[in-house]
Amino acid sequence: MSITKKFILLVLVGVVLICISVPFGIYFESFIIYNTVLLIFTIVDYFITPTKNAFEVERIGEDKLSLFEEEIIMIRIYNKSKLPATIEVLHEFPNAFTCKNDSIEGRINPHLSEVFTFKVIPNKRGAFLFEEIYIRRLGRLGLVKKDLLIKNSKEYKVYPSLKNLKKYHMMMRKDYFINNGEKIIKRKSDGREFESLREYVRGDDIRKINWIKTARENKLMVNQYEPENNKHIYILLDTGRTMSYRIKEYSKLDLAINAAVFLSDVVCYNKDQSGLMIFNTKVDTFIKPSKGDYHRNNILEALYHVEGTRLTSNYDEVLFYLSSKEKRRSLICIFTDMDTLQEVYYIEKGLEYITKKHQVLMFLVKDEKLDEAINIEVNNQKDAFLKGIGYKMKNERKKIIKALSRKGVICIECDKEDIIYKAVNEYMRIKNREAI
């Protein structure tokens, strides 16, 4: 129980009355009488205000939330009593959530319900159990607030940015996707397998004209080909030490997971099959290439609770494991990062082995702090030291990319903003030139 502003106001009124009664010599009697009456009314207010079994509480709305997006948590409260209820709903959210309104006030009429909406921003992926809801009901006389703790459990899962995924899908249906002034590459509409013949229409490639059939029909006929589909596209996600570094609010792992979710959807959209491997010192998760809604849910369920570690990843074991599982030529998209050239030498055996059978793409996430260090204005010895370190690390990154290219790996460095765009475009380039 807690007191209200009305109660405090009445106390102040009592103080004024007692002060007025001082010249008359009855201030003690006034103090006793006034406070006794106020106490009686407060006790009455407490007991005539029902709280036990007065409300039915239900969490409603979507239980799938998006990382770093504004989401809503809705609570429906039904007033079972015969009296209107003025209440304040308080909610304690886990530390992984930022809440814009910790409490909401409202009035519920008898035998009606109201929905109370909290706006939150999840700052971490994973599953979070919300168990308790606090309700503070204003007394009928307005002197006290009665507290009620209601147990109502519901699990909310925070996924990579699903809202962006929906937005990107709308753009893809229109064959339109702009990021930093560039356009997503479209899938070629044909492949190599002959499907049928049809009459030539303006704009057709003249190289597809079937001259024998044209001579017989006395009109231009062109060959039509079946698009190359059902290619296996593997997404390899490194959860090791180098992916734990943060770029503003995101870790490199968060950025890679967002790109992995979207790339997987684009692969299926283009009638190929996406597979997933999550690894560190060993293979933690392996999902075979497939497509469809069930497969998409499997990918999301595997990715939403992925945690990074401070351990160095074992690439050789992972790449040899993948080679043993996949016999047909596939595209391997690896989301990782490397600090030193020495790390390339550690994994060269695995890379040499896998590039003989598969096309390998590797995406490295650029560190924005590196560019800040290089562009810093030198005013003292510390600035000069930071600038020198920045240039040294930049040159090391160039050596890493060159060394990976010599091993047959297409290595691409990505900014935070364009990692999704670059991942999708590189996949489309390789698919269109039929390199897999």
Per-run averaged pLDDT (10 residues), the chain, 436 residues: 86 86 79 89 89 88 87 92 89 86 89 92 89 90 89 88 64 51 55 68 76 86 73 94 82 90 88 93 93 89 88 89 90 92 86 89 86 82 84 89 91 87 88 73
- Residue 409: CB atoms within 10 Å: 21
Burial 100-133 (b: 16+ CB within 10 A, else e): eeeebeeebeeeeebebebebbbeebbebebeeb
Rounded distance between C-alpha atoms, residue 387 and residue 403, angstroms: 25
Rounded distance between C-alpha atoms, residue 92 and residue 214, angstroms: 75
Q: What is the pLDDT of residue 108?
A: 92
Q: What is the pLDDT of residue 131?
A: 87
Cα atoms in the Cβ-side hemisphere of radius 13 Å centred on 44: 8
Rounded distance between C-alpha atoms, residue 344 and residue 401, angstroms: 9
Residue written as token pair 């024998």: 212
Q: What is the pLDDT of residue 182?
A: 52
Residue written as token pair 């030490």: 241
State the architecture of 55-159 in CATH terms.
Sandwich (2.60)
Rounded distance between C-alpha atoms, residue 130 and residue 121, angstroms: 15
SS3 162: helix
Q: What is the pLDDT of residue 239?
A: 93
Rounded distance between C-alpha atoms, residue 388 and residue 373, angstroms: 8
Q: Please state whether 304 falls in left (phi above 0), alpha (psi between -120 and 50) or beta.
A: alpha
- What are the domain boundaries of the chain? 2-48, 55-159, 162-185+229-432, 193-226
What ranges make up the beta strands (E) of 291-345? 331-336
What ranges make up the beta strands (E) of 169-231? 178-179, 182-183, 193-199, 221-226
Rounded distance between C-alpha atoms, residue 433 and residue 272, angstroms: 15
CATH for 162-185+229-432, among 3.30.200.20, 3.30.430.20, 3.40.50.410, 3.40.50.300?
3.40.50.410
Q: Please state whether 71 falls in left (phi above 0), alpha (psi between -120 and 50) or beta.
A: beta
Q: What is the pLDDT of residue 178?
A: 46
What is the pairing mode between strands 273-279 and 232-238? parallel
Beta bridge partners of 55: 79
Among candidate residues 78, 43, 39, the one with its CA nearest the CA of residue 60: 78
Contact status, residue 287 vs residue 231, Cβ threshold 8 Å: no
What ranges make up the beta strands (E) of 12-159? 55-60, 64-66, 71-79, 85-90, 97-99, 103-108, 113-122, 126-138, 144-159
SS3 115: strand
CA angle 308, 311, 315 (to 5 degrees): 95
Position 258, amino acid: N
SS3 138: strand
Among candidate residues 368, 139, 163, the one with its CA nearest the CA of residue 250: 368
Contact status, residue 231 vs residue 328, Cβ threshold 8 Å: no
Q: Please state whether 46 falls in left (phi above 0), alpha (psi between -120 and 50) or beta.
A: alpha
Both tokens of residue 283?
């293979």
pTM for this predicted structure: 0.74
Q: What is the pLDDT of residue 180?
A: 47
Beta bridge partners of 135: 89, 148
